[in-house]
């Protein structure tokens, strides 16, 4: 996995950050190339999975299954990924993930990708 | 008739040739976390010798060993507990013992296997021979179940563990397996996330996620209660993001010093083993996950959380300095020394490889393919307290 995000992804994140609601996630899909999406999927399974379980049914962290996330607004989940949950082991991922990437992950977790 | 005897002899001979007698002292296993399988490995030949499948979700799996070093007890994330015969590469017993598990321990006498569970929170104890249930210890406070972490065996039939959601350490005395006596220690510090027992079995130490410091219980004098050590080691600094929880199990004792991964700081902490006071801090490449001492105590090997999980650093304990920074592969999840430390095996998850290094030259000497390897466990663990 690249240790530093491609500058392109950061720039795209800035561009998509202005839109809100359902359009954000559609834009996130298009802004990430297939290779990066594969990396993100791998990261969710294996690195997020170290706390949330590789099949995302939970561990030290909460389950991340679609039915558990369905009622939580996308924006709240994006903020949770980027800024973490203070008081819990959920760290802020902002140094490793762009906003567009966090949006793509939310979409992926909710089972709405592709 | 003579022909039959000859044929029988041939069959017996070939059967014998397939499974020559061998010991298990140089065997071990590598968890393949994504495929529910383990590779049984020979640490003399430095290669895998068999694969065992069907062990469920092994994404945070760990293993302990029977006293004879023949059987491995593999604790799966999905609550599966499997007893594997290393010699025949067969699962000889298996039980789904909870919904979500984090690891386990085997008793000093080898007769009880205990599993630590997240869901439902508690400890389940089984007969090591049959995996039949022996005891169930629900972990709870204020009517709420708690995830259990840091389950360790200690001397005198004791299992000690921490309650993540209850800020507690419990000690279960299994002198009478049918009626374990539980001693509860409360307010030990916020969010214990892992625990360890010292090599001599005397101290149980819980790492705290929710505050800077560690909770220490003297198992020889439990009546003295839990005391805090390394209080406020962060000294008000803003902690760095912790992209993976450190593990204390591999903690290192070397030359009268204890080496521990700091949490939220890119440092390995050095404690004086006699006073448990902080003695030094060693800056390292990232958030340390494991700080493991070579069995002779001369070196401490450290791996890291994202984004530095391709790096391993070797600390020389004589001068408290990193003497070599290695890039053994991508996604180094776990490390295991051979019994006397001439080799270290490392899992490179993202390369689908296990790499073996010579600890004297710090050079690679062997490697082999494995599917998403994670935990590596050798049978010499059977003979140590608190592993």
Yes or no, beta carbons of B57 and A84 under 8 Å apart? no
**Tokens standing for B133?**
């249930």
**B14-23, B24-33, B275-284, B332-341 — which is least confidently predicted?**
B14-23
What phi and psi values does residue B110 have, to the nearest 5 degrees? 75, 5
φ/ψ of residue B76, rounded to 5:
-95, 160
- What is the token pair recorded at A85? 């949950």
How much is the average pLDDT of A47-60?
Answer: 89
Give the per-residue pLDDT at B238: 77
Window 255-294 of B: residues touching A by CB (8 A cutoff) are: none
Name chain A contacts of B100, Cβ cutoff 8 Å: 53, 57-59
- Quick one: pLDDT at residue A9? 39
Give the pairing of strands B158-163 and B168-173: antiparallel
Higher pLDDT, A10 or B28: B28
Examine the pLDDT at A87 and tell me if it is beyond 90: no
Structure confidence at residue A20 (pLDDT): 41
pTM score, two decimals? 0.88
Distance, in Å, from the CA atom of B41 to the CA atom of B353, rounded to the nearest integer, reads 13
pLDDT for A26 equals 53
Distance in angstroms (rounded) separating the CA atoms of residues B376 and B354: 9
Return the residue of B nearest to A88 by Cα.
B210
> Cα torsion for A11, A114, A92, B288, to the nearest 10°?
-110
Distance, in Å, from the CA atom of A16 to the CA atom of B196, rounded to the nearest integer, reads 46
Computed from CA positions of residues A21, A27, A29, A32, in that sequence, does the dihedral angle turn out positive or negative?
negative
Q: How far is CA B342 from CA B207, B258, B281, B365, in A?
A: 29, 21, 27, 11
pLDDT of residue B246: 86
Q: What integer pLDDT is reported at residue B87 of this predicted model?
A: 97
Q: Smallest CA–CA separation between A11 and chain B, in Å?
A: 21
Query: How confident is residue B315, by pLDDT bands cut at 50, 70 and 90?
Result: very high
pLDDT at site A27 = 57
Q: Of the candidates A3, A58, A93, which has its C-beta nearest B100's C-beta?
A: A58
pLDDT digits (tens, 9 = 90+) for B80-106: 999 999 999 999 999 999 989 999 999
So what's the ipTM on this one?
Answer: 0.81
3-state SS string over chain B?
CHHHHHHHHHHHHHHHHHCCCCCCCCEEEEEECCCCEEEEEECCCCEEEEEECCCCCCCCCEEEECCCCCEEEEECCCCEEEEEECCCCEEEEEEECCCEEEEEEECCCCCEEEEEEEECEEEEEEECCCCCEEEEEECEECCEECCEEEEEEECCCEEEEEECCCCEEEEEECCCCCCCEEEEECCCCCCEEEEEECCCCCEEEEEECCCCCEEEEECCCHHHCEEEECCCCCCCCCCCCCCCCCCCCCCEEECCEEEEECCCCCEEEEEECCCCCEEEEEECCCCEEEEEECCCCCEEEEEECCCCCCCEEEEECCCCEEEEEECCCCCEEEEEECCCCCEEEEEEHHHCEEEEEECCCCEEEEEEECCCEEEEEEHHHHHCCCC
pLDDT attached to residue B9: 54
B13-17, B133-137, B247-251: which is most confident:
B133-137
CB B242 within 8 A of CB B183: no
Q: Kindly state the average pLDDT of the residues B182-203.
A: 92
Q: Mean pLDDT for chain A?
A: 79
Q: What is the pLDDT of residue B212?
A: 83
Under an 8 A CB cutoff, do B349 and A89 touch? Answer: no
Q: How far is CA A14 from the centre of its chain?
A: 15
Range B20-32 average pLDDT: 96
Q: What is the pLDDT of residue A31?
A: 79
A65 vs B7: which has the higher pLDDT: A65
pLDDT of residue B40 exceeding 80, the answer is yes
Do B24 and B87 form a contact (C-beta atoms < 8 A)? yes
Residues in chain B: 387
Measured between its terminal Cα atoms, the distance across chain A in Å is: 22
Angstrom distance (rounded) from CA B122 to CA B58? 19
Under the banding of pLDDT at 50, 70 and 90, the label for residue A8 is very low
The reply to whether B100 touches chain A by the CB within 8 Å rule is: yes
Q: What percent of chain B has pLDDT over 90?
A: 77
Tell me the mean pLDDT in the region B143-147. Answer: 95
CA distance B36 to B53: 6
The residue in chain A having the minimum alpha-carbon distance to the alpha carbon of residue B194 is A60
Residue B88 CB-half CA count within 13 A = 8
> For A14-47, what is each residue's pLDDT tens digit?
334 433 444 455 555 667 999 999 999 999 999 9
Q: Which residue of A has its CA nearest to B241?
A: A91
Search chain A and give the residue with CA nearest B101: A59
Position with higher pLDDT, A22 vs B54: B54
Chain A residues touching chain B at CB-CB below 8 Å: 1, 3, 42, 45-47, 49-51, 53-55, 57-60, 84, 87, 89, 91-93, 95-96
The Cα of B243 is separated from the nearest Cα of chain A by a number of Å equal to: 6
Rounded alpha-carbon distances, angstroms, from residue A32 to A73, A80, A98: 22, 20, 10
Q: According to the model, what pLDDT value does residue B28 have?
A: 98
Q: How confident is the model at residue A114 (pLDDT cuts 50, 70, 90)?
A: very low
pLDDT band (50, 70, 90) for residue B53: very high
Tokens linked to B33: 């976390």
Cβ of B241 within 8 Å of Cβ of A91? The answer is yes
> Tokens 């609601």 sit at which residue?
A21
Report pLDDT digits (tens) over B146-177.
999 999 999 999 999 999 999 999 999 999 99
């Amino acid at each position: 996995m690249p240790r530093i995000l491609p500058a392109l992804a950061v720039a795209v994140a800035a561009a998509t950050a202005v839109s809100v609601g359902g359009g954000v996630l559609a834009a996130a899909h298009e802004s990430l190339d297939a290779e990066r999406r594969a990396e993100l999927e791998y990261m969710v399974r294996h690195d997020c999975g170290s706390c949330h379980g590789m099949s995302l049914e939970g561990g030290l962290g909460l389950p991340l299954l679609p039915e558990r996330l369905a009622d939580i607004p996308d924006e709240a989940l994006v903020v949770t990924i980027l800024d973490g949950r203070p008081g819990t082991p959920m760290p802020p991922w902002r140094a490793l993930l762009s906003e567009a990437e966090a949006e793509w992950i939310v979409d992926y977790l909710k089972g709405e990708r592709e | 008739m003579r022909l039959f005897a000859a044929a029988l002899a041939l069959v017996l001979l070939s059967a014998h040739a397939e499974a020559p007698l061998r010991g298990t002292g140089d065997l071990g296993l590598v968890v393949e976390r994504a495929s529910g399988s383990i590779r049984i490995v020979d640490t003399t030949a430095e290669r895998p010798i068999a694969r065992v499948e069907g062990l469920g979700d092994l994404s945070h799996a760990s293993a302990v060993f029977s006293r004879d070093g023949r059987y491995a007890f593999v604790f799966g994330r999905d609550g599966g507990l499997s007893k594997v015969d290393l010699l025949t590469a067969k699962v000889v017993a298996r039980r789904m013992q909870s919904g979500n598990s984090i690891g386990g321990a085997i008793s000093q006498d080898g007769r009880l296997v205990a599993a630590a569970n997240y869901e439902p929170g508690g400890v389940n104890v089984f007969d090591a021979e049959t995996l039949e249930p022996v005891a169930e210890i629900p972990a709870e406070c204020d009517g709420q179940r708690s995830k259990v972490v840091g389950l360790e065996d200690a001397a005198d039939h004791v299992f000690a563990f921490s309650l993540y959601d209850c800020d507690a350490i419990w000690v279960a005395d299994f002198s009478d397996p049918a009626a374990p006596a539980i001693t509860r220690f409360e307010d030990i510090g916020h969010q214990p996330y892992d625990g360890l027992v010292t090599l001599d079995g005397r101290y149980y130490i819980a790492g705290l996620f929710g505050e800077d410091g560690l909770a220490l219980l003297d198992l020889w004098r439990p009546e003295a209660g839990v005391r805090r050590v390394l209080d406020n080691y962060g000294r008000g600094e803003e902690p760095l993001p912790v992209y993976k929880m450190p593990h204390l199990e591999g903690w290192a004792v070397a030359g009268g010093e204890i080496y521990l991964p700091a949490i939220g700081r890119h440092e390995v902490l050095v404690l004086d083993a006699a006073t448990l006071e902080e003695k030094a801090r060693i800056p390292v490449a990232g958030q340390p996950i494991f700080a493991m001492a070579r069995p002779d105590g001369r070196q401490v090997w450290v791996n890291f959380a994202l984004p530095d999980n391709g790096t391993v650093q070797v600390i020389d304990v004589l001068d408290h300095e990193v003497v070599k920074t290695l890039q053994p592969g991508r996604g180094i999840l776990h490390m295991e020394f051979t019994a006397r430390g001439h080799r270290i095996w490392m899992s490179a998850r993202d390369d689908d490889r296990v790499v073996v290094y010579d600890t004297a030259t710090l050079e690679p000497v062997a490697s082999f393919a494995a599917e998403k390897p994670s935990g590596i466990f050798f049978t010499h663990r059977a003979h140590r307290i608190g592993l």
